[in-house]
Amino acid sequence: MNPDQCSRRWLESALPTFLDAEAQVELDGELFVHLDVRSDNLCLLQGRAVFVDWNSAHRGNALIDKVFWAPNLHVEGGPSPGDFVGYKPEYACLVAGFFAACAGLRADTPNLERIRKLQQGQLRIALPWACVSTGVTPPDPR
């Protein structure tokens, strides 16, 4: 996680709550899920929305695509994740944890730099969503 997002002390106190909530996520399912839904993987074609870039697709819980799309949708002017999918602690914590784990990784190429910036923006949305969903006090801005 980016140290600009929160203090170590805050993270150590919040992490057990987030991990307990995330452990409740049901990933299994029989539907085809994209696992990388965001606007740059979406094309509008003859009045339909078509997803592209299916290299991460799996069978699973279709709600996963929706909750992972929620921060990106909000970054681009859409509703907050809570308004879009609700305040589901397990899913909010899954999404925040994923972006916290990825946003600070190395970016060796221009494309990875772009992806890391997207992930950092999504973390800035997902972390408060996880806090509100679990009742954890949000971190103070640093």
Q: What is the mean pLDDT of residues 6-27?
A: 95
- What digits encode the pLDDT tens for the residues 23-44? 999 999 999 998 888 888 889 9
Tell whether 91 is covered by a domain: yes
Tell whether 95 is covered by a domain: yes
The domain of 70 spans 8-134
Tell whether 113 is covered by a domain: yes
Q: What is the mean pLDDT of residues 52-61?
A: 91
Tell whether 2 is covered by a domain: no
**CA-to-CA distance for 75 and 103, rounded, in angstroms?**
15
Please check the confidence at residue 12 and state whether its pLDDT lies above 60: yes
Q: How many CA atoms lie within 13 A of 97 on its CB side?
A: 17
Tell whether 140 is covered by a domain: no
Tell whether 141 is covered by a domain: no
More confidently predicted of 133 and 5: 133
Write the DSSP symbol of residue 138: P
Rounded to two decimals, the pTM is 0.89
Phi, psi of 59 (to 5 degrees): -85, 140
Q: How many CA atoms lie within 13 A of 119 on its CB side?
A: 22
What's the structural domain count of the chain? 1
Tell whether 67 is covered by a domain: yes
Tell whether 107 is covered by a domain: yes
